[in-house]
Amino acid sequence: MNILSPSILSADFTILGEELRTIDEAGSEYIHIDVMDGIFVPSISYGMPVIKSIRKATKKVFDVHLMITEPERYINEFVESGADIITFHVEATKDPGKVIDMIHEKGLKAGISVKPKTPLEAIEPYLEKIDMLLIMSVEPGFGGQAYIEGSTEKIRAAREMVKAHGLTTDIQVDGGINLQNLPEVLEAGANIIVAGSSVFKGDVKGNVEAFLEIMK
């Protein structure tokens, strides 16, 4: 099943509640929430108070992507804020297995992410424990970047790795995805698509509907 997860990092925060209602009513199932700490990635975004606040605006799945160092320090707080899925970076912690267990103990789905230059072998030991694998197709930390072309082969390799383990793990892709390269990303094996500027620039409702039409 293909799922669209619009990234609110690209939304207009002066009308964030309205933007959420628009993507909700247009048929988006997930809402992608990028949390950055200024250490693991250069930028700082938002944290628990914003998530808790917007939780009241929608019942859609909160797909929380932690781009923070030592995510284990904050799992409980993000659970309490209203996250449904928590994804962290394999590069950001010394004990990924522990972080996965912490997330599962709270009854949430756990995802693990890799930067563009990190080999898939880094997450293979945890593949049977996770619910979702997030492939970054741009360097994490900034919205609006162009899709790194080599990402398509990495997505394909990830899907093959998942199949080789006898799994059906969700593969999410985040970074530079638009209506033009979306078919290529889906064909390679992704089934959860994160899109920021290509959703929130211009006609938000129309953009969501156009993505979903291709993802049928």
Q: Give residue 188's pLDDT.
A: 98
Domain residues for the domain of 64 are: 3-214
Helices 204-214/16-26 angle, 10° precision: 30
pLDDT in tens, 113-158: 999 999 999 999 999 999 999 999 999 987 778 999 899 999 999 9
What is the CATH number for 89? 3.20.20.70
Q: Give residue 143's pLDDT.
A: 73
pLDDT in tens, 19-50: 999 999 999 999 999 999 999 999 999 999 99
pTM of the model: 0.97
pLDDT at 66 over 80: yes
Query: Considering its fold, how many domains does the chain have in total?
Result: 1
3-state SS class at 85: strand
Question: Can you tell me the mean pLDDT for 173-192?
Answer: 98
What residues does 7 pair with on adjacent strands? 32
Number of Cβ atoms within 10 Å of the Cβ of 146: 11
In whole angstroms, what separates CA 5 from the centre of its chain?
A: 7
Q: Would you name the residues annotated as active-site residues?
A: 34, 174
Q: Give residue 142's pLDDT.
A: 75
CA–CA separation, 24 vs 212, rounded Å?
Answer: 12
